[in-house]
Amino acid sequence: MKILVFCDESNLEFIADNTQDSECRFVIAHNRPAAQHLATQMNLNFAIHHRNDSPRLPDFVSSMSSFRADWIYCSSYGLRIPKLILDSARLGAINFHGGLLPEWRGANILNWVLIEGCSSTGVTAHWMTPEIDGGPIILKQIVEIDDVDTALTLANKLKFITQQMFLQILQDAKFEVPFAKIPQDVSKARYFKRRSPEDGLIDWSKSDYDIYNLIRALVSPWPGAFTVTSNGSKIYFRDRVPLQDIAKLRAQYSLA
């Protein structure tokens, strides 16, 4: 079986270890140096997905399409995969999305669900189409969010579920078990934008709970929630702050 995998460093080693009996090629985004370094260390067969405005992009698309993969698998990948590549997979392309579809389409869902104070999230395996996160659903699994979860602890929960789901899909694909194609209810779809470090600015007029959620959603290694003092310096909160301490921080920094 020939497999083309689009992923970052979070699941690279796991996928590589579990696809050794297949002819597997990996694709890593140009802006993921950690994944590139890891793939080099592991001596993997991988290619760099260049920027859309790069003169090297046409050659990249041609090379990936000519690989003639049986399956394309995608996990934690931030770039849009060209339609020519998706269409080149003989049996199809499957994405493992770190959110529950159709309600949670888009980027940085891990952070958004915490910011919005959700009690659950999940992982959705779905067929890939040119529409981002819009393809028919194969299966999904709910993950509970605890009040003390942070982006880091929730990421670990989602990583475990994603890996188990990947193994299930991989095993079924080997035995040619047909996958579901459940259409998404477009009326329920919401699309979340990619976050930037500046989105971590704390609005002290918001409730204690809203501020608590923002801080825990952006703990290290994410950029961090922050406030700006009167002299223009930024104060970052790299770890979760207990909810009962938010009022003290507001008193300290809201007029700083």
Per the prediction, the chain carries an average pLDDT of 96
| pLDDT over threshold 90, residue 179 | yes
Share of the chain above pLDDT 70, in %: 99
- Mean pLDDT (whole number) for 42-46: 97
Domains for the chain: give ranges and CATH numbers.
2-192 (3.40.50.170), 197-253 (3.10.25.10)
Task: Evaluate whether 201 touches 228 at the Cβ level (below 8 Å).
Answer: yes
Report strand pairing: 2-7 vs 23-29.
parallel
| pLDDT over threshold 90, residue 202 | yes
With cut-offs at 50, 70 and 90, classify the pLDDT of residue 176: confident
Q: Would you tell me how many other CB atoms lie within 10 Å of the CB of residue 175? A: 6
Please state, in angstroms and rounded to a whole number, the distance separating the CA atoms of residues 80 and 62: 16
Task: Evaluate whether 26 touches 38 at the Cβ level (below 8 Å).
Answer: no
With cut-offs at 50, 70 and 90, classify the pLDDT of residue 254: confident
Residue recorded with tokens 């929960």 = 157
pTM of the model: 0.94
Q: pLDDT per residue over 204-249, tens digit each?
A: 999 999 999 999 999 999 999 999 998 899 999 999 999 999 999 9
